[in-house]
Amino acid sequence: MAQTSDVIVIGGGIIGLAVAYHLRRAQLGVTLVERGRVGREASWAAAGYLSFQGESNQPGPRLELMRTSRLMYDGWIEELSEFSAADTGFWRCGLLELCITEAEARAYQERVAWQQAAGYTIEWLDPAAIRQRQPYFAADLPLYGGVWLPEVAQVRPPRLLKALTAAVIRLGVQVREHTPVVEITRAGEQVTGVTLAGGEHLAAAVVINAAGSWAPQIAPEMARLPVKPVKGTIVLLETTAPLSRELVASSCGSLYPRPDNKVLLGATLEDAGFDKRVKLAAVDQLVHQAVTLMPILQDATLVTAWTGLRPSSHDNLPYLGPIPGLCGAYAATGHFRNGILLAPITGVLLTEMILQQPPTLPLEPYQAARLW
């Protein structure tokens, strides 16, 4: 007899785990299937910073989705601690965004104005104030000001994944690793479950596709999801002393310091298909950018470098919701560089959809049906 659940979640990254967590908290029977090891793809490779106020975020549904999820995060981390003793590395460190051209300064000052009017915490800093708080910046680095975002936090993605995995297992989610899905089964247009690579059938009336960059490959009906892998390379350095408490972002490179004297450099945006090899050119680019920002990093130790494949969407919004023509099938993919940040709200929204509860946010902008 086939194993039966209320819901099957395909994909064991941060999104799949978060969806499984919230569904199980709502007392649904959940099975999560992952083609490899849980949490070892894009989620594991992420930098892990949590911000909704970045320079690319204008008023609209993307900003609201990210803001809502960020506001949930502190409570979500505390909630996870009830199920797992794993340290997630959650740390309110703040983010400093630099303006290295006059055009950037004008655009950033406009952003400060509307975000302050909207009630967000954000501050404009002049070049002198930036150099006072960041004495290791290169003397010849062109600075035209910057933005300080004190509410930005970070997590250590591998640790968060460990805590979330422990939480879903403790709650009773059936986690199946190394079990690729080869087919979503159906009776007419109604989902009946999935078939695994070994021929085993798992039965469920609801199947959620949270397979990240691999989401279009799950079933013919999913092929219309224009999810594309965008490779990101990250370099990890170790310094002899802390160079900065806050994260630093700029158009010429970004630095993500951690409390353990480690610094992440990243990340690149590479159109390389499913190639996950660490290329020397990408590492060289990130190191050059970092040393340009802070020459003292020439004395840092290179620890390692890695890559991840982020699932991008066609309009920079994730695909959340029912798949037309396949009753009981849902998408939860296309989060691109914000999967870690958007995990809590994605889990909540998918649970609300499946239980037909009033949604926390208007769903229309994120529905997978916008593609049909």
The per-residue pLDDT for range 334-348, each reduced to its tens digit, is 999 999 999 999 999
Residue 287 has pLDDT above 60, yes or no: yes
| Class of 95-151+228-312 in CATH | alpha beta
Give 190's contacts (C-beta < 8 A, 6+ positions apart).
205, 327, 328
Residue 212 near residue 333, CB atoms below 8 Å: yes
Q: State how far the Cα of 91 lies from the Cα of 153, in Å rounded to an integer.
A: 5
Residue 146 near residue 107, CB atoms below 8 Å: no
Mean pLDDT of the 102-106 span:
96
Residue 56 has pLDDT above 70, yes or no: no
Answer yes or no: CATH 3.50.50.60 is held by domain 3-81+157-226+315-371.
yes
Neighbours of 323 (CB within 10 A): 26
pLDDT at position 58, please? 83
> Which pair of tokens denotes residue 270?
């590479």
> Which pair of tokens denotes residue 57?
């975020």
pLDDT tens digit string along 135-159? 999 999 999 999 999 999 999 999 9
Residue 87 near residue 189, CB atoms below 8 Å: no
> Which pair of tokens denotes residue 146?
């910057």
Q: State how far the Cα of 237 lies from the Cα of 302, in Å rounded to an integer.
A: 5
Q: Where are the extended beta strands (E) located within 250-326?
A: 255-257, 262-266, 301-312, 319-322
pTM: 0.96
Residue 66 near residue 219, CB atoms below 8 Å: no
> Where do the CATH 3.50.50.60 domains begin and end in the chain?
3-81+157-226+315-371
pLDDT at position 54, please? 77
Residue 274 backbone phi and psi in degrees, to 5: -100, 20
Query: In which element (H, E) is residue 340 found?
Result: helix 339-354
Q: State how far the Cα of 42 lies from the Cα of 122, in Å rounded to an integer.
A: 29
Residue 362 has pLDDT above 90, yes or no: yes
pLDDT tens digit string along 209-253? 999 999 999 998 899 999 999 999 999 999 998 899 899 999 989
> Where do the CATH 3.30.9.10 domains begin and end in the chain?
95-151+228-312
Q: State how far the Cα of 31 lies from the Cα of 172, in Å rounded to an integer.
A: 9
Beta bridge partners of 209: 10, 331
Residue 80 backbone phi and psi in degrees, to 5: -60, -30
Beta bridge partners of 330: 208, 322
